[in-house]
Amino acid sequence: MNTPPPPDASPRTVRGAAVAIVAVLCLLLTGCSGSDEGGSGKDGARMKVALITHGAPGDIYWDLVQKGARAAAAKDGIDLTYASDPDPAKQAKLVREAIGDKADGIAVTLAKPDAMKGPIAAAKAVGIPVVGLNSGIDAWRAAGVLEYFGQDDGLAGRAVGEKLNDLKAKHTLCVIHERGNVGLEARCAGLKKTFTGRTEMLYADGTDMDAVTDSIAAHLRQDPSIDQVVTLGAQYALAAVKAVKQTHGKVRVATFDLNKDLVAAIRQGKVQFAVDQQPYLQGYLAVDALWLYRTNGNISGGGVAPVLTGPAFVTRKNVAAVAKYAANGTR
């Protein structure tokens, strides 16, 4: 039992006694700490999460993914690291390095899913949960990840094909800026399934924007029957707009993905529409999901269904609704 201070004790003495009592209770209960609690990592430390993508240098799409991931990390008290490499072998090496760094969770894109199977299995073998995002919706379960956050690219492509039918397009050039990326290939394949006109694929070097513009322009000059270009990323749509201007044609441009410059192009009528897969949301959900799994055992979609972040069409009619978020760099 604690002995109360004498009746004539000063306020300072009373405060000192109270502090001492609290200190003793903290030691007895081992529940008080002066450190930041953060996420639930090993040995009570802040949780460490690695976000590893196939993003190429200079592709600003991944800035949006990172912003979402960092917002979730800040909310959950997580130490987040980001790394990327478009080369599948090098991306796999990054995953193995995260395992070696004893990450508490890994979020990874599956653009080349076969290359990720080994590293994902290695992470699971040492108890590190792995979630997928952005690409690989048809491969995430076979790859062994817990959850998946992203767009169904085949479904999105089919929706674009139907929209182009409504817009009376006749001959579409679908520009793939990374050969072998399963998500990009699925978008053009989906478009081809539903589009009643002619569909052509054009592979371009997505790491060189001038080369993308030149490739599109050359193809438009070669075949003047092309009346529609569909790109698979916002910055490539702007390259297509330049190509159309160079060829003085009346070719229309549509795209997947969004950023603030693309919003301006839609408002100006230079781009017809964009398919928004919400990359900020993908990054946010992937990191937050790892925190929820570590702290509460939650698995979004029950481990059997993906969590879809798109597709949604952004046109001149509704672009104002997302413009302020795009200006903030979150859409």
3-class secondary structure per residue, 281-292: HHHHHHHHHHHH
Q: Give the pLDDT of the chain (331 residues) as one tens digit per residue.
A: 444 444 444 444 434 444 344 333 333 333 333 334 456 676 668 999 999 999 988 888 999 999 999 999 999 999 999 999 999 999 999 999 999 999 999 999 999 999 999 999 999 999 999 999 999 999 999 999 999 999 999 999 999 999 999 999 999 999 999 999 999 999 999 999 999 999 999 999 999 999 999 999 999 999 999 999 999 999 999 999 999 999 988 999 999 999 999 999 999 999 999 999 999 999 999 999 999 999 999 999 999 999 999 999 999 999 999 999 999 989 9
Question: Edge-to-edge strands of the sheet including 273-276?
Answer: 198-203, 171-176, 228-231, 252-256, 273-276, 312-315
24-34 CB burial, b ≥16 within 10 A, e <16: eeeeeeeeeee
* Amino acid letter, 324: K
Rounded Cα–Cα distance for residues 170 and 198 (Å): 6
Say what the pTM is. 0.84
Three-state DSSP class for residue 331: coil
Rounded Cα–Cα distance for residues 110 and 104 (Å): 19
Q: Which of 297, 305, 250 is nearest to 132 (CA)?
A: 305
CATH 3.40.50.2300 segments of the chain: 42-151+279-310, 153-277+315-327
Distance of CA 146 to the CA centre of its chain: 16
CATH superfamily of 153-277+315-327: Response regulator (3.40.50.2300)
Q: 55 vs 48, 177, 216, CA distance in Å?
A: 21, 12, 22
Please report where in the chains the tokens 């592979």 appear, as a residue.
203
- Considering the domain 42-151+279-310, what is its CATH architecture? 3-Layer(aba) Sandwich (3.40)
Rounded Cα–Cα distance for residues 292 and 180 (Å): 33
